[in-house]
Chains A and B, each alone.
Chain A
Amino acid sequence: MNKLNIAPINQGKIQVDLLDNADGLTVKLVGDIDMEDPSLLLDPFFEKVHQGMVAGKIPFVVADFQGLTFLNSSGIKAVAKWIMKLAMLPPDQKYQIRIAHNKAITWQVTSLPTLTFLVPGAVKIQ
């Protein structure tokens, strides 16, 4: 278990886990997110990460998409919803989401950079 005590998602073709790393935390997404309503799984997970980041005053989290082979638009909505939470935070509670992506996976190259436009400064592509 990670330092925020958030349990992983391991359902069907999806694995999402929060991992401790040397610099802080990594949300690691693996598999295919192509179910009808991924928000049922992702929204509560991202909400817990968000609350933990704010409470712990952790400056950034890595969102590692490199092992995610597909993400449908409903999944993009869930990620966008997480990012939009950062727009509501006062400056002293803000943190950054640093996206790690796989340039060999076409959708990651075209989809993930668009997330940097949602909330200025909130998301960085690594």
Chain B
Amino acid sequence: MAKPDGYIEIRFGPRWKYISPARVFIQNFIAIALSDQAKADAIAMATSELLENAVKYGASEDTHCIVQAFPDTGVIQASVTNQATEKNAADIRALYNKIMTGDPLEAYITQMREAATRTDGKSQLGLVRIRYETGADIQLDITPTHQVTITIIVK
């Protein structure tokens, strides 16, 4: 991939209150970098969902987000990294494998119906929502020490 024209990196301790300002900042950054408000909105939603997961399930004091804009092609790449427990890393792997198969809309509807009956406080809708609503390529990387990175590439 070519060198990005715009690049931001955000690190913060896993606190819920930082997600909203991060979302707004990313939204404004992409809108300026690409002059594409709809894409800025979609990426901001997606990164917000990833940051929510990172904060909810993070096991250390570091949530790390990188957003790169490639104006020549209109491509945006965003990644969120956090340290997870072994169990949470396994759960995210299982969820990823589940929601990345089949038609994106069907997967989203199925997951919404399941979410409506959950009693554990989780929705497990973030990734499937990103997949359907942004059409992003979503990659999951988990290190042997359970550091989780989710990268989305939106064209």
Instruction: Using CB atoms and an 8 Å cutoff, list the residues of chain A in contact with chain B.
Output: 32, 34-37, 39, 70, 72-74, 76-77, 80-81, 83-84, 105-107, 110-111, 114-115, 117-118
Contact = CB atoms under 8 A, between A and B. Distances in A.
B114 to A, nearest CB: 10
Given A80-B115, A118-B112, A34 B19 contact: yes
> Which secondary structure dominates where chain A touches chain B?
helix
Contacts of B41: 105-107
B116 interface: yes
A83 B117 CA distance: 12
From B37, B48, B118, B123, name the one whose CB has the most chain A CB atoms within 10 angstroms: B123
> Which secondary structure dominates where chain B touches chain A?
helix
20 contacts: A32-B20, A36-B56, A37-B121, A39-B121, A70-B23, A73-B49, A74-B52, A74-B125, A76-B125, A76-B129, A77-B115, A80-B113, A83-B116, A84-B117, A105-B41, A106-B41, A110-B132, A114-B112, A117-B109, A118-B113
Interface range for B = 20 to 34
Contacts of B113: 80, 84, 118
Contacts of A111: 129, 133
Given A73-B126, A73-B129, A110-B133, A34 B112 contact: no
Contacts of A39: 121
A36 B16 contact: yes
Contacts of A77: 112, 115-116, 118, 123, 125
Interface of B: 16, 19-20, 23, 37-38, 41-42, 45, 48-49, 52, 56, 105, 108-109, 112-113, 115-118, 121, 123, 125-126, 129, 132-133
Contact of B123 (A32, A76, A106, A118): A76
A34 B48 contact: yes
B42 A110 contact: yes
Contacts of B109: 114, 117-118
B8 to A, nearest CB: 20
A84 B37 CA distance: 33
